[in-house]
Amino acid sequence: MQQIQSLSLNNLPSIWVEAFSSQLIAEENVLAWLEIDLDTQLHFAAGLVVVTNKRLLTKMASDEIWQEWCYQKDLLLAQRDYAGVGCLELFDAHARIAYWRYRLGNDIAVSRLIECFTQQLDYYLTGKLPVVAEHTQVQCPNCAAFLSSEQEECPVCDKQSHAPPSTWTLLRLWRFAKPYKGRLLIGFLLTLCSTAATLVPPYLTMPLMDNVLIPYQNGQPINTDLVTLYLSGLLVAAVLAWMLGWARTYMLALVSERIGADLRTATYEHLLSLSQEYFGGKRTGDLMARIGAETDRINLFISLHLLDFATDVIMIVMTAVILISINPWLALVTLVPLPIIAWLIHLVRDRLRIGFEKVDRIWAEVNNVLADTIPGIRVVKAFAQEKREAARFHAANQRNLQINDRVNRIWSLFTPTVTLLTEVGLLVVWVFGIWQISKDEITVGVLTAFLAYIGRFYIRLDTMSRIVSVTQKAAAGTKRIFDILDHVSSVPESSNPVHLSAIQGQIEMRNVGFRYGTRSITRDINLIIKPGEMIGLVGHSGSGKSTLVNLICRFYDVTEGMILIDGHDIRSLPIAEYRKNIGLVLQEPFLFYGTIAENIAYGKPDAMRSEIVSAARAAHAHEFILRLPHGYDSLVGERGQALSGGERQRISIARALLIDPRILILDEATSSVDTTTEKDIQKALDNLVRGRTTIAIAHRLSTLREANRLIVLDRGRIVEIGNHTELMAREGYYYRLYLAQARNVDTEDRAIVSVAEHSAAGEHK
């Protein structure tokens, strides 16, 4: 425990150092501390509890003096927690002498505090130095979690830092645009040229007016050469603008389509790498909307709106330059409305962004209603709740309308205002232009050119103002995409993974604890499973069996302790490589849409046909597959052939058999089928289990007779270990569980048969 002893005052939170240092007596060392953020009445207040080698010290920020308890016989420090709030209690032989409340932030700091206290108390009472535990692993300096030698950053601390992402979300799309730099540059140059080409015609109206039309009105004949020159100039400019415009739009649409596709793929890939925890907290409809609709919206934004906007900006700059070069004064008057419009845009931007984010959220909500109801349609119909579901959808839509109405109220005001400003701007130009002509400062041609220019100019401003809304929409969409992309998997891939060529299948759990949200699910699990051993996990539902399995599969990461495979922390192994060693058979097997052969070969897509068939034979699935009209090529899954629960289960067993895993996990593999089918499955399972480390969860204890050892769990702890006979002889927890089931077994079988008949009848509807 060197790390602990080297703790000095410097490690204390800075606000406490000064107050605390005066308290220390000679030869007193701080061993552990805990910052308290609640008082005993559960109001927010700061406080500190410190364990030193002499005593336990504590003070709330509002207290005048420190309270202290020196080590003495019968002192006990213990903690419990409920719904996110922990309680640390100090007892003596007769009563509770003090307690502290805190929000559960750093669970490990609490257990370390208690550990240090207990050790020091022990030392005080017995005089024996605390046993220095020989940990080969390095400890995290912050939270004392054990790190495997390869890990540099502590996964526990890492997980807790949630830095808010920057607001310039749209710029982050650059990451996806980068590979197309070259093409983007070409597109930009094309935009520049095509915009310049569109600016030629109004310029030509100036000499056309001054050199041809006005002289004609003043009695001179029309100069046909000049007219031909100007008009062919107009035609060439128009044709050039058309060609360049086509090339630029095509080029940029090409690029944006690719960026969109990359974005979609990257998001989906990242989504797949996220832990089970993430999917547990999200709703399917929402995730689907994000990947589908949002990427499409961003795509459209880049290819259409961003392009238009860039063109507009270029056009405005070019127009401004041309106008100033013709007549600076008139140009100044023409450009005055520009800042006003810019200010107006800025004003509305914030409101619109919030509005559009709301629209997005409510849209996801509408989708969620659908995603909730359609898969559960049998339940909806069975309970005749169509009306209610329709009402729910109606309500979501109503809210959608409401929010859209509010956004549209601002939005609808916006465009007419811009149009009004355009008209006023034109009016100003007319007034100032006529005045200047009357003073002979400009010609009629110049005024005509100006009007032609700003006619386009203001129209561009009008469309430009639209960029506000689409940018906001795209930014909102980008944010939602990056919400997924920024989400760090809570089962992070080790930065320096250890590759194991072949594993033996020894699983060791050391002080494993897991907390889901604020609920502590398992605690202090210590267990070594030998290679090839079959373990049965037994316990009431909610006792932590499935959690344990999820931890072994690394669907979640342990919050305390560690799980070792052949002596390596599973967090230090590459996730995909590690999971290849695990075969999982679930209670409700999931078949993908595809052929039976594809489903069996899901974990090993390059499997030979002969391998697939032998896996199916071993899983006792071969015969029923041959009875199907297309054999192994029959389509199954959501839109395919209907298979019974037992048949699907045997396919999933074949799937697990094919990858030949060293570790096998059977999570209630036989509980959703009737007893006859169970016997078939059991035969298939016997083939599967042979020679592999197996962890089986079964509700029916009779199916676990084969297990070498049974682990009995109760409320997240191991209560008994032993084989069936031993545990029966002990007459403990397992014995009671077994008796309770044996009593029910007759009724259960009867119930299952009738349920099976029932559901079979249902299938034929």
Partner 1 sequence: MNGADKYQLNRNSYGRLVFTDRIGLMQEGVVPVRSFPITDPDQGIALIDSHGHELLWIERLADLPEDYRVLIESELASREFVPEIKRVLKVSSFITPNTWEVETDRGESTFLLKGEEDIRRLTASSLMITDSFGIHFLIRDRLTLDRHSRKLLDHFL
Sites of contact with partner 1 (CB under 8 A): 37-38, 42-45, 82-85, 89, 91, 94-96, 99, 103-105, 162, 164-165, 167, 169, 281-283, 286, 354, 357-358, 361, 479, 483, 517-519, 715
Q: Which contiguous run of DSSP H or E holds residue 599?
A: helix 596-600
Question: Which residue, 132 or 488, is less far from partner 1 as judged by CB?
Answer: 488
- Beta carbon of residue 484, minimum distance to partner 1 (angstroms, whole number): 11
- By C-alpha distance, which of 140, 158, 143 is closest to 32? 143
* DSSP code string of 263-281: HHHHHHHHHHHS-HHHHHH
As measured in angstroms, the least distance from the Cβ of 476 to partner 1 is 10
* φ, ψ at 282 (rounded to 5°): -110, 160
Nearer to partner 1 among residue 38 and residue 341 (C-beta): 38
**Minimum separation from the CB atom of position 495 to partner 1 (A):** 22
Which secondary structure element, helix H or strand E, spans residue 582, and what is its range?
A: strand 582-585
Distance in Å, CB of 516 to partner 1, minimum: 9
Closest approach, Cβ 280 to partner 1, in A, equals: 12
Closest separation in Å from C-beta 601 to partner 1: 37
Report the candidate in 414, 188, 433 with the shortest Cα–Cα distance to residue 330.
433
Q: Report the alpha-carbon distance of residue 615 to residue 630 in Å, rounded.
A: 18
Does residue 346 sit in helix, strand or coil? helix
Rounded least distance, CB 162 to partner 1, Å: 4
- Closest approach of partner 1 to the CB of residue 310, in Å: 26
**C-beta closer to partner 1: residue 103 or 258:** 103
Radius of gyration of the chain from its Cα atoms, rounded to whole angstroms: 37
Strand-pairing partners, residue 115, are: none
Beta bridge partners of 720: 712
166: which strand partners?
none
Alpha-carbon distance of 229 to 232, in angstroms, equals 5
- Return the number of the residue (319 or 478) whose C-beta is nearest partner 1: 478
Q: Give helix 181-198 / helix 224-273 axis angle, nearest 10°.
A: 150
Identify the DSSP state of 102: E
Taking a C-beta distance cutoff of 8 angstroms, is the pair 691, 683 a contact? Answer: no
Task: Tell the smallest beta-carbon distance from residue 527 to partner 1 (Å).
Answer: 23
285 versus 536: smaller Cβ distance to partner 1: 285
Considering the complex, state which of residue 67 and residue 149 has its C-beta at the smaller distance from partner 1: 67
Closest listed residue to residue 670, CA positions, set 652, 693, 691: 652
Number of Cβ within a 10 Å radius of residue 647: 24
Kindly tell me which of 43 and 758 has the beta carbon lying closer to partner 1: 43
In the complex with partner 1, the residue whose CB is nearer, 165 or 762, is: 165
Query: Toward partner 1, which CB reaches closer, 104 or 428?
Result: 104
Q: How far is the CB of 354 from partner 1 (least distance, A)?
A: 6
The DSSP bridge pattern shows strands 709-714 and 534-538 to be parallel
Specify the residue, 286 or 748, whose C-beta has the smaller distance to partner 1.
286
Rounded to whole angstroms, how far apart are CA atoms 341 and 290?
Answer: 33
Structural contact between residues 319 and 453, judged by C-beta atoms closer than 8 angstroms: yes
| 563 DSSP β-pair partners | 509
**Residue 747: how many other CB atoms lie within 10 Å:** 9
* Smallest gap from residue 685 Cβ to partner 1 (A): 33
Which two structure tokens, joined as six digits, stand for 756? 């099976």
Contact 397, 362 (CB under 8 A): no
Q: Measured from the CB of residue 724, what is the shortest distance to partner 1 in angstroms? A: 25
Q: Which residues on adjacent β-strands are paired with residue 515?
A: 520
Beta bridge partners of 90: 77, 98
Please say which residue, 183 or 283, places its beta carbon nearer to partner 1: 283
Gap between the Cα atoms of 319 and 459, Å rounded: 13
Q: Based on CB atoms, which residue is closest to partner 1, 89 or 296?
A: 89
Integer Cα distance of 660 and 670 in angstroms: 20
Alpha-carbon torsion angle 622, 625, 629, 635, nearest 10: -140
- Closer residue to partner 1 (CB): 281 or 339: 281
Question: Smallest distance from the beta carbon of 78 to partner 1, in angstroms?
Answer: 10
Nearer to partner 1, 483 or 524 (CB): 483
- Would you say 99 or 592 has its CB closer to partner 1? 99
| CA-based nearest residue to 496, from 140, 147, 163 | 147
CA 646/CA 683 separation, integer angstroms: 12
> In the structure encoding, which two tokens stand for residue 148, read together?
């495997």
To partner 1, the closest distance from the beta carbon of 89 in angstroms equals 7
Question: What distance lies between CA 388 and its chain's CA centroid?
Answer: 31
CB of residue 158 to partner 1, shortest distance in Å: 14
Which of 73/639 has CB closer to partner 1?
Answer: 73
Contact between residue 326 and residue 446 where contact means Cβ atoms under 8 Å apart: yes
Query: In terms of CB distance, is 488 or 760 closer to partner 1?
Result: 488
β-strand 519-529 against 507-516: which pairing, if any?
Answer: antiparallel
Nearer to partner 1, 91 or 123 (CB): 91
Strand residues in 662-728 grouped as ranges (E): 663-667, 693-697, 709-714, 717-722
* Residue 161 beta carbon to partner 1: minimum distance, rounded to whole angstroms: 10
Residue partners of 495: CB distance under 8 A and separation at least 6: 150, 151, 152, 153
Handedness of CA 582, 585, 586, 590 (dihedral sign): positive
Q: Token digits for 136?
A: 């080969």
Min. distance of Cβ 37 from partner 1 in angstroms?
8
Name residue 79's beta-bridge partners.
88
Shortest distance in whole angstroms from residue 663 CB to partner 1: 32
Nearest 5°: phi and psi at 691? Answer: 75, 5
Using an 8 Å Cβ cutoff, are 100 and 46 in contact? no
